[in-house]
Amino acid sequence: MSWIFSSPQKTLSAAQQLQGELRKNDSPIPPHAILLGVLKSIEKELRARRFIGDSFHEAMPLWFLAETERNIFLWRSCLSIDDANEFAFWVDVPALIAKRRRHLSRCEGFNPFVNSSPSETGAEIELRYLDHIEDLGESVLTKAAVISRASHELRRDLAPLAPICPTIVLPYTSNQL
C-alpha cells in the first residue's frame, strides 16, 4: 500500500475546481430528499423514542450510512471532513436504502457492523430496519423533506450575500458533476 500526500495548494486547487464544476451543474434536489442534518436529528429521535422498533438498536442508522457517503465524496474529491461545510448535503433516502439493500444482499447474511443474535443474522435485522424506515416514508420522511426545504430556503433568506453552497445528493454518483 502506498500513501500519496498532496500539497495544500494542490488540494485547494482541486477543491476550487470541484466547486466550480458543481456550481455550473448544480443537480436538482429530488422532491423526497432530506438534508443530512435533518435526517440525523429525526432518525435519532425516532430511535430514542423507539418509534422505529425495539429490536433495531443493533441496526446501522441511515444517517450513519449517509455520513459515510458524504465522507467518501469528500475523500474522492481530495477534500477533508472540514470542507463538508462548503456543501449542502441532501440524502435521497430511497436511493440510499436501495444501495444498502444491494450491499446487504451480497454479504450473505453477515454484517460486520451488527452483533446479531443466533436466531437472526445482522443483515436480516438491518433489512427489517430498512423496511420500517420505508414504512415511515409517507409520514415522517415526507415531513422531513418539507422541513429540509424550508430550512434551506430560510438559510438563503437570512444570509442572502453568503456564497451558495453546491448541492450534493447522497448517495453521490459521478454523473452529478
What does the pLDDT look like over 125-145, one tens digit per residue? 888 899 988 888 778 888 999
Band of residue 95 on the pLDDT scale cut at 50, 70, 90 = very high
pLDDT given for residue 2 in this prediction = 40
Rounded CA-CA distance 114/100 in Å is 14
What does the pLDDT look like over 29-59, one tens digit per residue? 888 899 999 999 999 988 888 888 666 677 8
Contact between 171 and 99 under an 8 Å Cβ cutoff? The reply is yes
3-state secondary structure of 49: coil
What does the pLDDT look like over 65-84, one tens digit per residue? 999 999 999 999 999 999 99
Rounded CA-CA distance 134/113 in Å is 21
- Can you read off the three cell numbers belonging to residue 66? 449517509
- φ, ψ dihedrals at 50, nearest 5°: 60, 35
